[in-house]
Every structure is written in C-alpha cells, then in structure tokens.
Structure 1
Amino acid sequence: MHELSVCLSLLDEVERIAREHGAEGVERILLRIGPLSGVEAPLLANAYPLAAAGTLAESAVLEIESAPVRVACTVCGAESEAEPNRLLCAACGSHRTRLVSGDEMLLANLELRVPDGAC
C-alpha cells in the first residue's frame, strides 16, 4: 500500500517539527491533497492509525482537505480551476495550459501540545 509509506514519511516530518518546538504531542494534522497527487485520501486516512501508533501524533486528528486543480493558460494568461481530466482554460477554452496546483500533498497545518514554558 503506497499510502502507508506516504503516511510514514509524513509522520517523520510531523515528529521532526513537533520535537523542534518541544511538543509533548500533536493534536491535529491538516493535509491538503490534490486530485492529481497520486495519493488516495481515503486510503491515507485508513493507513494513518497504523502509521501513527507509538508516535507523538498517535492521538492526533488527521484532517484532509481537497486542493483544487488550477491551470494557467499560455494563450490568454488567465488562471482558473479545471477538472482533473480536462485541463482547459476556463476563460478561452484553450488546451495550452500549465498546471498551477492540484498535484500536491501539502502539510498545511499542525496543532501541537506544548508544555508551559516551551516555545
């Protein structure tokens, strides 16, 4: 399962950030995943409890937001949302577009449990 290895890598980064800030634990993880990222959000959510066991994020809530697919048109210069399987400019209909977003998996936010006096 590809999502398990993605989840393990994500948790490595989450733990690194948590330790860097002296956190006792992680309360919430917010991910933004685009439909062209190659990551299936439901499978990632299912893999999370297994991957998080024994980590600072074991009891954290994992929230996943869908990131929109956005393209920039090389013909008219407009930037617009597009369908994952139809990367057309919404302004002029051109197929000459460049992907701006929708292929990312972004760690958007972490809520940490930090003891009093820690930074």
Structure 2
Amino acid sequence: MHEMSIAMAVVGQVEEAARAGAASAVSRVELQVGELAGVVPDALAFCFELACAGTVLEGAELVTRSVTARARCGACAGEWPVGMPPDLCCPACGRATEVELLSGRELRVLNVTWEDAEDGPPAVPCREPISEEA
C-alpha cells in the first residue's frame, strides 16, 4: 500500500515546516490529489492518521482536494476530462498521438494550519509544492 509511504512523506515534510515555523501543533493539512495519481483517498486518510501518531501532527485533520484529469489535443486544441481509466483519444478529432495531459497527476500539500506557541492557529499556504508531483 503506497498510501502509507505517501502519508509518511507528507507528515515528515509538514513536521519539518512546523519545526521551522516554531509550531506547537498542526491541526489541518490540505492535500491536492490528482485523479491519475493512483491514490485511494480513504486509504490515505487511514494511513495519515497512523503516520501522525506521536508527532506534532497527531490529531490533525487531512483534507483532500481532488483534481480532475484533463487533456488537450495538439492537433485540434480540443480539451476534455480523461476520466478513469484515462481516455487519451481526442473526442473532437479522434487523434491520440499529440495529446498533452494538463492535470490529474498532482500530489502536493496546499495548506497547513498550525498553532504557534503565542498566537493561535494561522493557515500557512504552500506556494511551492512540499511533495513532489507524482
């Protein structure tokens, strides 16, 4: 189950950011997950809870934001949702040789909410992906 390795990587990266930000606890992690990333959200949520045990993230809520897989045809510029399993044949012109995948492989931390020892819980937007795209 690769969801456990994903959960452990997310926890490790968020822990590192929380330490750097002098956080006392992390209460929420928002994760962007592409439709084609091969991640089962329920399995990831289960693994995330286990991976958080004994860390500054213990008890943190995991929120996943799904990203629909979309493609564009280089021949006719048509765009479409590719679905699951992915249909990479252009519905407008029928070509499958010049297809560009626009979205659907994302796997990144979007936001982390943590509590500072002094101030309370700020939301920390992640402008750069903490996790590498799959």
TM-score band, normalised by shorter chain: 0.7 to 0.9
SS in 1 for 2:23: coil
- TM normalised by structure 2 equals 0.77
The structure, 1 or 2, with the larger RCO (C-alpha pairs under 8 Å, 6+ apart) is: 1
d(CA) in 2 for partners of 1:38, 1:71: 17
Q: Which amino acid aligns with 2:14?
A: V
Distance 1:78 1:21, change over 3 A: farther
Asked whether the 8 Å contact 1:24–1:114 carries over to 2, the reply is: yes
Structure 1 residues not aligned, in runs of 5+? none
Q: Which amino acid aligns with 1:48?
A: F
1:42 is the counterpart of 2:37: no
Correspondence for 1:87 = 88
SS in 1 for 2:118: coil
Correspondence for 2:70 = 70
Q: Deviations over 1:60-109 (max 9, x none)?
A: 11111211102122112344433232134465554331112101211111
Identity %: 35
Q: Mapping of 1:21-40 within 5 angstroms?
A: 21-40=21-40
d(CA) in 2 for partners of 1:94, 1:22: 53
Larger displacement relative to structure 2 (69-78 or 36-45): 69-78
Alignment RMSD: 2.1
**What is the CA-CA distance between 1:9 and the residue it aligns to?**
0.8
Asked whether the 8 Å contact 1:36–1:102 carries over to 2, the reply is: yes
1:6 is the counterpart of 2:16: no
Asked whether the 8 Å contact 1:71–1:99 carries over to 2, the reply is: yes
Structure 2 residues not aligned, in runs of 5+? 123-134
- TM normalised by structure 1 equals 0.86
d(CA) in 2 for partners of 1:15, 1:100: 31
Pick aligned residue for 1:108 from 107, 110, 118: 110
